[in-house]
Amino acid sequence: MSGSRLVTTAERRARLGLRQALAVRAGSVEEAVESVVALHGTDPATVFLSAGARTGTPGPEPVEKALYEDRTLVRMTAMRRTIFVVPRELAPVIHHSSALAIAVRERKRLTQHFMDGGGFDERWISRVEGEVLAALREHGELTATRLGEVVPDLRRQIVYAPGTAHEVKQGVSTRLLFVMAAEGLIVRQGRPSGSWVSGQHRWAPAPAMPVLTAGEAQAELVRRWLAAYGPGTEADLKWWTGWTLGEVRRALRAVKAVTVELEESAPGYVLPSDVEPAEPAEPWAALLPALDPTPMGWQQRDWYLPQAHRAELFDRSGNVGPTVWWNGAVVGGWGQRADGEVVWRLLEDVGADAVAAVEREAAWLTAWLDGVTVTPRFRTPLERSLR
């Protein structure tokens, strides 16, 4: 893992645009998702808007087809306890590299919380899980609400932090279904109740998947991340994956990652086949949605997102809002008015060509949304002010 080539900020920005289907759009929804490894799925609208920005295909229908008809994309618990949408063939890699370890921790917490907050022991939990699987096998895809009707124990309430200032009640289904999904027992598969911006997804039994060792899966995930995001630092990978530093370093050794120098941070890593300089990209603009994987792809962001912009573009928990991009850098943000029109604001002077390109992207996105108004789940100061 040795090397000494300097990868400049300009080259990193060119790589970002070319590899993440922003400078040159992808030919399909599946290719768009592969270009960023996985799409953030915590906010349902992000999946559609992120894919749309990378394909140029009008409307949400191509994404719906991939998710609910062809099922070439899978919604699953993944890195950092976050919901992602991933290519179907990548699901085993995500599961064995990240989700299973999360499931072990969450199972332990769930058992303790259920016992403390409701007196429900492991035997009770196991019985309810069995009833959930039986209900899905008998009735097919069901929403959490419908599952609660078929399995009444899912509607039971748990008291968290009883007797403290943080005491709160939560339904059994919220935590139990999350853990079952992380363990690969069930999957968010069917069409949601409502439109494409709805988060009321339907649950189904998870299909069987190939078995991989954690080491094999982690190496493959790092290989894909470096192909899409490299060069990146150990800190970037540790943050993005949610793994320990030791796991990140083992995976980097497994893929024989090569070190390169970066202008703004500690040394970065690229794949052995990716050491040569990247070609410059043609000028491009993009309007990316809240939680898009590109602005959320690195922990160390100064090379594409100036510190001065962050107070306007992030919420207090570190979730990015809608962003405006010009040639590989974040230069502003966008939102929607009540009538659905996309409006935007630049946070720096980028010149007339950039303004014209952003105007075209905003007009295209307004047409793509076709009157649907999307409110990000995590609101940011700039998005609120534009609203």
pLDDT of residue 212: 96
**Going along 63-215, which residue ranges are E strands?**
73-77, 83-87, 142-143, 157-160, 168-171, 186-190, 202-205
Is residue 97 a part of any domain in this protein?
no
In a domain, 345, yes or no: yes
The reply to whether 153 falls in a domain is no
Phi and psi based region of residue 302 (left: phi greater than 0; alpha: psi -120 to 50; beta: remaining) = alpha
Name 11's bridge partners.
none
Position 1 scores a pLDDT of 47
Residue 53 lies in a domain: no
One-letter amino acid for residue 2 of the chain: S
β partners of residue 379: none
Q: Which domain holds residue 344?
A: 285-386
Does residue 310 fall inside a structural domain?
A: yes
Q: Has residue 66 been placed in a domain?
A: no
Separation of first and last alpha carbons in the chain: 48
d(CA 52, CA 71): 17
Is residue 236 domain-resident? no
Give yes or no for a contact between 373 and 338, defined as CB atoms under 8 angstroms apart: yes
Tally of domains within the chain: 1
Please state, in angstroms and rounded to a whole number, the distance separating the CA atoms of residues 192 and 198: 6
DSSP-assigned letter for residue 303:
T
Collapsed DSSP state (helix, strand, coil) of residue 7: strand
> If we measure between CA atoms, which residue out of 108, 20, 39 comes closest to residue 78?
39
CA dihedral 57, 58, 60, 66 (to 10 degrees): -30
pLDDT of residue 194: 82
> Does residue 109 form part of some domain?
no
pLDDT, mean of each 10-residue run, the chain (387 residues) = 79 97 97 98 95 93 95 94 96 97 95 89 96 96 94 91 80 93 92 86 92 97 98 97 98 98 91 94 96 96 95 95 98 94 96 97 95 93 94
The per-residue pLDDT for 193 is: 82
